[in-house]
Amino acid sequence: MIRIALLGTGNVGRAVIARLEALDDPGLSLVHIGNTRVTVGPSLHESAPHVVLDATASDAVAARHAEWLARGWHVVTANKLGRGASLARAEAIEQACTASGARYGDSATVGAGLPLLRSLRALRAGGDAIHGVAGVLSGSLAWLLARFDGSVPFSTLVHEAGVAGYTEPDPRIDLSGEDVRRKLLILARAAGVALEAHDVQVESLVPTEGDALALLDAPMRARLDAARGQRLHFVARWQAGVARVGLETLASNDPLAAGSGTDNRVAIHSARYAQQPLVIQGPGAGAEVTAAAMLDDVFALRDQPAFSAARPSKNVAIGIGRAIA
């Protein structure tokens, strides 16, 4: 029996609740749900969860991951601000895991559960040396740039992407590249590189002169013209000691130029994959795949001895969870 506390009842949190209901697994008990307005069930500490699921984007919540791990609570997160913020926080998470034996499930933070982090860690565990990681890690920017051929202004496409639900309600969050910086930090740190957030150069697409997205149109058009018929891609790259996030022109046969829609694509260069990178591609966004990835991380905890000994506890929250979501 695994007692679960869920923080966040937005897109991802609701998908987690829906998936728990559909699974109807007697080995999983949702004992606490919270958002910024209400909580259901006993308080987090009274509920003594085995695992805290972080489906928020909250820095304050991520700042507590190490503390929870140190108590022996497992943490499963879609929130990138644990391992994708300061190096000190990422290291505190590692140290807490080592000290308490608790596990940190972060499959959902990059590529929404695509086997990116797990492949990097498996390669390193097998003695491989990672030389570089490069990827298209923003589904919304991939969608936008796949359509950007100069026939319509870039700001028109940003508007269309918003209507289709591919960008955040404020598209500047996607265009700033900050989310991609966090994902690159998580990937690079999983590859064994102790990068600080400021070690990553970020090319923001947000207009510097004012708020109007139409200010993007002329510079984006100029970038496209300079690409001479090749497509622009928003790439995160740690390679040859340099970490950078921004626009790149890629040849059509580049592994990162394949894929469609909002697909994520990542190329791993290593001693083992020296001639050709290992390429992983697939849907890297969406509440359902993200929730599934989080629950996969929960299921991976089942081999922990504590769970066979724990007594079943009342599943207080699922029905009410829908009401507060």
Annotated catalytic residues are: 183
Question: Which of positions 227-286 make contact with ligand NAP (CB under 6 A)?
Answer: 285-286
The answer to whether residue 10 forms part of the interface with ligand NAP (CB under 6 A) is yes
The answer to whether residue 56 forms part of the interface with ligand NAP (CB under 6 A) is yes
Which DSSP helix (H) or strand (E) runs through 40?
A: strand 39-40
Nearer to ligand NAP, 36 or 43 (CB): 36
Taking CB under 6 A as the binding criterion, the range among 10-18, 192-200, 274-282, 304-312 that sits at the site for ligand NAP is: 10-18
Question: Which of positions 189-208 make contact with ligand NAP (CB under 6 A)?
Answer: none
For ligand NAP, the binding residue among 1, 42, 58, 155 (CB under 6 A) is 58
Nearest to 45 by CA among 76, 73, 18, 10: 73
Q: How far is the CB of 287 from ligand NAP (least distance, A)?
A: 5
The answer to whether residue 144 forms part of the interface with ligand NAP (CB under 6 A) is no
Question: Which of positions 71-100 make contact with ligand NAP (CB under 6 A)?
Answer: 78-80
Task: Please enumerate in sequence order all residues whose Cβ is within 8 A of that of 132, keeping only pairs 6 or more positions apart, or say none.
Answer: 237, 238, 239, 240, 268, 269, 277
Task: Please enumerate in sequence order all residues whose Cβ is within 8 A of that of 105, keeping only pairs 6 or more positions apart, or say none.
Answer: 51, 74, 75, 76, 77, 294, 297, 298, 300, 301
For ligand NAP, the binding residue among 20, 34, 205, 317 (CB under 6 A) is 34
Residue nearest to ligand NAP (CB): 10
The answer to whether residue 162 forms part of the interface with ligand NAP (CB under 6 A) is no
- Site size with ligand NAP, rule: CB under 6 A: 26
Nearer to ligand NAP, 112 or 295 (CB): 112
- Please give the Cα distance from 222 to 36 (Å, whole number): 43
For ligand NAP, the binding residue among 16, 40, 44, 55 (CB under 6 A) is 55
Nearer to ligand NAP, 12 or 133 (CB): 12
- Would you say 4 and 51 are in contact if contact means Cβ atoms under 8 Å apart? yes
- Would you say 57 and 287 are in contact if contact means Cβ atoms under 8 Å apart? no
For ligand NAP, the binding residue among 53, 96, 112, 191 (CB under 6 A) is 112
Q: How far is the CB of 193 from ligand NAP (least distance, A)?
A: 22
- Please give the Cα distance from 197 to 180 (Å, whole number): 11
For tokens 């102790």, the residue is: 194
Nearer to ligand NAP, 81 or 145 (CB): 81
Nearest to 237 by CA among 196, 279, 198, 268: 268
Q: How far is the CB of 174 from ligand NAP (least distance, A)?
A: 11
Which amino acid, residue 48?
A
Find the helix packing angle between 287-299 and 11-23, rounded to 10°.
60
Nearest to 219 by CA among 237, 203, 235: 203
The answer to whether residue 9 forms part of the interface with ligand NAP (CB under 6 A) is yes
- Would you say 104 and 74 are in contact if contact means Cβ atoms under 8 Å apart? yes
- Please give the Cα distance from 194 to 188 (Å, whole number): 8
Q: How far is the CB of 48 from ligand NAP (least distance, A)?
A: 18
**Residue 112, both tokens:** 């929404």
Binding mask 277-306 toward ligand NAP (x if CB under 6 A, else -) reads --------xxx--x----------------
Q: How far is the CB of 217 from ligand NAP (least distance, A)?
A: 27
Positions in the binding site for ligand NAP (CB under 6 A): 7-13, 34-37, 55-58, 60-61, 78-80, 108, 112, 285-287, 290
